[in-house]
Amino acid sequence: MTCKGILDTLSDYLEGDTADVVCNEIEEHLNGCEKCRMHVDTMRAIVTLYKGWRGDTIPDDVSGRLQEVIAETAGLSSRKPSRPTVSTSAKRGESAAKPKKKPAAKPRKKPRRRPGK
């Protein structure tokens, strides 16, 4: 089983809808692949939380985007990770938050040599 194969069968695997042979292949791959193991563990946690949630349903576009971000984070996606966009418009007269810049490091001074040493 490849990393791509894991992604292709992940939903069925987490729901318990995979054949025993495929399930064994997935588990064998997970034993040797840290990225996939982290991805599966994360998705398993999300599914568990989602099933226990009694609120409104998540829109399909949000659910799809969530899965993409998780795959990107785990390094399993062929797409480049996207950066979240931040609105520059201020709300209720507040200014938009700007990231603070780290002050530049001051150059070190060389110690002076004493005469005769």
Would you say residue 64 has pLDDT above 80?
Answer: yes
Which pTM was predicted? 0.45
C-beta separation of 32 from 22 below 8 A: no
Structure token pair of residue 29: 């791959």
Question: Which residue has 């025993």 as its token pair?
Answer: 20
Q: Angle, nearest 10°, between helix axes 20-32 and 3-15?
A: 130
| Between 48 and 94, residue with greater pLDDT | 48
Would you say residue 106 has pLDDT above 50?
Answer: yes
Closest among 30, 106, 114 to 74, alpha carbons compared: 30
3-state secondary structure of 21: helix
- pLDDT of the residue at 78: 54
| Between 70 and 92, residue with greater pLDDT | 70
Q: Given pLDDT bands bounded at 50, 70 and 90, which one contains residue 76?
A: low
Distance (Å, whole) CA 92 – CA 89: 10
Amino acid type, 104 = A
C-beta separation of 81 from 72 below 8 A: yes
What is the residue-averaged pLDDT of the chain? Answer: 75
